[in-house]
Amino acid sequence: MKWLGALFSIFLFSFLYLPMLVLVVLSFNEAKRGSAWLGFSWKWYERLFHNPDLINPFFTSLEIALSSAVLSAFLGLCVGYLIVRGGKFNREAMSWASYLPIMLPEIVLGLSLLSFFVWIGFPLGRMSVLLGHVAFGTAYVAVLVRARLSQADPLLEDAAYDLGSNRRKTFIKVVLPQLTTTLISGMMMVFTLSFDDFIISFFLAGVGVTTLPMKVYSMLKFGVTPEVNALCALILMGSFLLVTTSLLYLRSLDGQRHV
């Protein structure tokens, strides 16, 4: 049975990562169309950095994703804390509200946000896309914070109150350090979801705002150029470095706790 497990593992990792490897290899291919290898070349990376049609949407998506990650972490922390430590009404209302954006299909969430923004007269653009991403990002962070706080020992907070600490100091010095890894994980999740989002961005972008997924989708009508492969390869490498750095950081935090 060991060989069967090894075979399944090889198939699983090949299915997940082989397409990424093929994309990276094709980004260095001399050929403009097709998968036939015509030689090694850096020209698609050179053209990428001189192509504002791809660079501008990339920085738009990057800006929105970073902003939504920070805002979602703050709001998700507040919502998750109220669910676990708040009153009965707050726990029930916030718990129901935090799960709804996750369970709703993206097309429903995007259309409802579009209708709401049009109804209140809010202009569609970069800010509307950011608010749409924060709407579902907050829910993901709140669920993570709720799960972590449910496992935390409330006696630590009671001990801080007994020693004369107020609610603000107890939250900063006792509760927040226990949620550091959770918030980092939540921000990474929201950043990835926001950067890759197409449906909600498509509904809320308006005129003049184009995210990278929207740009790549529009290019499918005329064929995706190898410059897109080069851009995706750079994003893949950046994501790998980001995940590696965050794992090393989280491991260092765990090591400090055990000292």
CA dihedral 86, 91, 96, 99 (to 10 degrees): 60
Beta bridge partners, 29, equal 40
- Domain edges within the chain: 57-220, 225-259
Q: How far is 154 from 192, CA to CA, in rounded Å?
A: 32
Q: How far is 131 from 205, CA to CA, in rounded Å?
A: 11
Tokens of 193: 């979801």
Beta bridge partners, 128, equal none
pLDDT above 60 (res 235): yes
pLDDT above 70 (res 88): no
Query: Mean pLDDT throughout 34-62?
Result: 83
pLDDT above 90 (res 70): yes
pLDDT of res. 167: 74
Burial of 186 (0-12, 13-18, 19+ CB in 10 A): buried
pLDDT above 80 (res 199): yes
Opening angle at CA 175, ends 171 and 176, nearest 5 = 85
pLDDT of res. 253: 61
Read off the DSSP letter of residue 166: -
Q: Is 79 in contact with 94 (CB distance < 8 Å)?
A: yes
For 169-182, b where at least 16 C-beta lie within 10 A, e where not — what string? ebbeebbeebbebb
* Amino acid sitting at position 47: R
pLDDT of res. 73: 93
Q: Which CATH superfamily is domain 57-220 in?
A: MetI-like (1.10.3720.10)
pLDDT digits (tens, 9 = 90+) for 8-22: 788 888 888 888 888
C-alpha distances in angstroms, 184 versus 75, 141, 151, 197, 246?
Answer: 14, 10, 18, 20, 8
Q: How far is 199 from 159, CA to CA, in rounded Å?
A: 47
Q: How far is 211 from 62, CA to CA, in rounded Å?
A: 9
